[in-house]
């Protein structure tokens, strides 16, 4: 697993040593960033279900100023810390070991908002509708912010959730879907 473009292009990232985490492949990561724009000027990212932190780190490499990483597994948290230390971006990141809904509520209480929110939960275990409703309820999506969902291609993804509307959706390989809401 590596960083594909930007400041950290070509740098290898550590993977989570667990079968409970499914890393986003380089091909899908490249497709995601092709869909949302290759480079960014500033902004904050939230990487829920972060695993190794690959999506948030890729966003930072391409210009996002800071990222909050959230995962429930201890091995994932350890791997995220190792990756951000490897790239020396500790001062631009926060890492939390908690479940997604608790993280959403906590970020809302802190008044945080994000231009880029990555949702990549274990396939078929979470409702994207519920997650997006919680993001809206706690006002975490910045004006002009987007929510990027990676999902099993067989999962039913809503076309609207509150003010969020599906703007792009594609399938990669035989089973990976990417849907983007704004």
| pLDDT, tens only, 54-104 | 999 999 999 999 999 999 999 999 999 999 999 999 999 999 999 999 999
Domain presence at residue 94: yes
Domain presence at residue 3: no
Find the largest Cα–Cα distance for the chain: 40
List alpha helices for 93-165, DSSP H.
Answer: 100-109, 128-137
Domain presence at residue 7: no
Domain presence at residue 116: yes
Average the pLDDT over 44-48 and give the result.
98
What element of type H or E holds 165? strand 164-172
Q: What is the tens place of the pLDDT at every residue in 129-154?
A: 999 999 999 999 999 999 999 999 99
Domain presence at residue 121: yes
Domain presence at residue 171: yes
Of 52, 43, 121, 128, nearest to 87 (Cα)? 52
Q: What is the CATH number of the domain that holds 93?
A: 3.40.50.150
Q: Please tell me the predicted confidence (pLDDT) of residue 156.
A: 87
Query: Which domain, by its residues, includes 165?
Result: 26-181
Q: Give the Cα-Cα-Cα angle 33, 117, 106 (nearest 5 degrees).
A: 160
What pTM value is reported for the model?
0.95
Number of domains in the chain: 1
> DSSP strand E in 25-161: where?
44-48, 66-71, 93-97, 114-119, 141-152, 160-161
Q: Please tell me the predicted confidence (pLDDT) of residue 31.
A: 87
Domain presence at residue 16: no
Please, which residues have CB within 8 angstroms of residue 50's CB and are 6 or more apart in sequence?
Answer: 56, 69, 70, 71, 76, 80, 118, 120
Domain presence at residue 92: yes
């Amino acid at each position: 697993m590596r960083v594909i473009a930007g400041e950290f292009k070509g740098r290898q990232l550590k993977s989570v040593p667990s079968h409970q985490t499914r890393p986003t492949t380089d091909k899908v990561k490249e497709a995601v960033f092709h869909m949302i724009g290759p480079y960014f000027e500033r902004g904050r990212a939230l990487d829920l279900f972060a695993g190794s932190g690959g999506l948030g780190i890729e966003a930072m490499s391409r210009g996002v100023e800071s990222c909050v990483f959230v995962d429930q597994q201890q091995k994932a948290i350890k791997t995220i810390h190792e990756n951000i230390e490897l790239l020396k971006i500790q001062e631009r990141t926060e890492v939390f070991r908690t479940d997604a809904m608790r993280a959403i509520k906590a970020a809302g209480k802190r008044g945080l908002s994000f231009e880029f929110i990555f949702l990549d939960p274990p396939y078929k275990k979470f409702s994207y509708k519920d997650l997006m409703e919680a993001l809206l309820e706690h006002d975490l999506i910045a004006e002009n912010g987007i929510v990027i969902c990676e999902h099993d291609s067989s999962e039913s993804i809503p076309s609207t959730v509150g003010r969020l509307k599906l703007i792009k959706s594609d399938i990669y390989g035989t089973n990976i879907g990417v849907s983007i809401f704004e």
